[in-house]
Structure 1
Amino acid sequence: MTNRTVVAEPLGRADLTGVGRAFDLAQDSAGAVFSEGPGFTDRYTSEPLLDGTGHLGMTSVSAAPGEVTRMERHLYTAEALFCAGDPVVLPIAPAGRAPRTSDLRALLILPGEGIVLDPGVWHAPCLGATAPAAYYWFAEVDESVETAWVELDEGPVSIDSGVERDHVG
């Protein structure tokens, strides 16, 4: 059994080749459309997040550090994830074969940021970066397809947010 620790890397600096695409609505960035009016500013993604009809969900989670023992994937849909207010850490592994302990990574997602995971990318529930947190997900839901959770090949991986409890960013 492996006793590996993974420290989260900031989403905005991560290489997402083969994983998906990031977006940042907290600031004017490529892929975001900006507008403003009296008393408000607005940003939205310039491209749709999904190809099909999506469902919005919200998951509440405990804080990092935490442990990942198993992961899931969705072969029929991309999945967008973004924090509901507090930063979260997303454990991921490449699409393809069953998730391997040695391939697991973690991404720190700050408020305003999000990621759209490609279909087939392995992932576990997020962890709050500094405290229990909630995050939103947006994906197609097909109740006829059972979600399969697969154990990591060499045992659990500890996830560290890389963020001090009293400081984010």
Structure 2
Amino acid sequence: MKPLRATALDAAAFAPFGEVIEAGAATRQFPINQGSTVRYHDLARIDPGEDGHAIVSIFRAQPRALPFEVSMLERHPRGSQAFMPLSGRPYLVVVAPPGERPATENLRVFLARADQGVNYAAGVWHHPLLALQAESDFLVIDRAGPGANCDEITLDEAVYIDLG
């Protein structure tokens, strides 16, 4: 199996796959509620696709032990899927570009901080949640509506993630 090395999640590196959701200095922000709150504005473009509507869920992910074998990916061709961690723990994000079956050399792994979420663009291949350390909750905004919206594949060659 080939090793995959995780890199820190940042907006520029993740842009081909979607958006990083974070309250950072580069984010458009302004005070609201008579100055008692700062709004970090327009962090992700939620795309429910044609005939769909956005829904909000909580996913509870079990922690994964490292090294972790990546042998499958999924994609949601009809809409985006946003994840925001709620449990204060880092997690891993495995992605590949949209399109037909991805080659293992096109996989990317990012280590997301506990204060960073991701919004996968429609059609982006990704691994299901990869919580680290302990059971972790994620706020998820994705699509509900008619039509199948989850494709899964088994990779031709498994790879593994080890943070070293």
Contact 1:61-1:125 at 8 Å conserved across structures:
no
Deviations 1:12-56 (A, max 9, x none): 26512421121312x4x2334343779x64443325531443112
Q: How many residues align?
A: 157
- What's the TM-score, normalizing by structure 1? 0.77
Pick from 17, 29, 34 the counterpart of residue 33 of structure 1.
29
Structure 1 residue 69: deviation in Å? Answer: 1.2
Unpaired segments ≥5 residues, structure 1: 164-169
- Higher normalized strand content (fraction of residues): 2
Counting only pairs closer than 5 Å after superposition, residues 16-165 of structure 1 correspond to structure 2 as 16-25=14-23, 27=24, 29-35=25-31, 41-46=37-42, 49-52=45-48, 53-59=53-59, 60-65=61-66, 66-84=68-86, 85-142=88-145, 144-145=147-148, 147-154=150-157, 156-160=158-162, 162=163
What is the distance in 2 between the residues matched to 1:61 and 1:128? 6
Q: CA 1:70/1:21 → structure 2, altered by over 3 Å: closer, same or farther? A: same
- What's the TM-score, normalizing by structure 2? 0.79
Secondary structure of the residue that 1:15 maps to in structure 2?
helix
What is the distance in 2 between the residues matched to 1:30 and 1:114? 15
Deviations 1:42-99 (A, max 9, x none): 4433255314431122221323422221111111111112212211111111111112
Unpaired segments ≥5 residues, structure 2: none
Q: Which amino acid aligns with 2:116?
A: E
Contact 1:89-1:128 at 8 Å conserved across structures:
yes
What is the distance in 1 between the residues matched to 2:63 and 2:146? 26
